[in-house]
Amino acid sequence: MSPNVTLVLVSGVLVACGVSLLLERTLTRVLVGVVLLGNGVNVLFLVASGRPGGAPILGVSEAADMSDPLPQAMVLTAIVITLGMVAFVLALSYRSWQLNGHDEVQDDVEDRRIVRRAELDEASASYDDDTRDTPEPRAVPGHRDTPPLADALRPDDSEAVGRG
């Protein structure tokens, strides 16, 4: 059975619009993006679930005619997750509106400073480059580069000949 092309296209458009709105700076657009993305994923779950059938309850419909209940459960779970995300972004947007009078997310000053230093290939003042003064590493017993203990304690051939 082939999937319904219209529903696949609708799902793709919803997900694409949702992702593009998630990348905006205002929280109201992010909110709409979360809703569109959630709905696009839900439509995609329903498209992927296969053919429609009877209710998945024993005694109501035949076993061969039943629809798969797992995609329906996954859609219900996705709806709950989307609702939680919408509530969180809505609370952030409301708080931003109360504090600043707008809901636009501004750049962090520290992030801009880190980007500028990375472009200049400059280390911060708190960076301590102590790798110049470190001595050569010592052999660690049991490490793969260290010879086994039996090889280190084996007597020389001259001592073994002298005991014989």
Which domains can be identified in the chain, with CATH numbers? 5-120 (1.10.287.3510)
CA-to-CA distance for 152 and 137, rounded, in angstroms?
A: 18
Average pLDDT, the chain: 80
DSSP assignment string, 31-63: HHHHHHHHHHHHHHHHHHT-S--B-S-BTTB-T
Which tens digits make up the pLDDT trace of 86-139? 999 999 999 989 988 888 888 788 888 888 888 887 666 666 666 665 566 666
41 burial type by CB count under 10 A (0-12 exposed, 13-18 middle, 19+ buried): buried
CA-nearest of 3, 14, 17 to 52 is: 3
> Percent of the chain having pLDDT more than 70?
73
pLDDT in tens, 47-59: 888 777 888 788 8
Is residue 163 over pLDDT 70?
no
Q: HSE-up of 73 (CA within 13 Å, CB side)?
A: 5
Q: pLDDT over 90 for what percent of the chain?
A: 35
Two tokens, residue 119: 């472009």
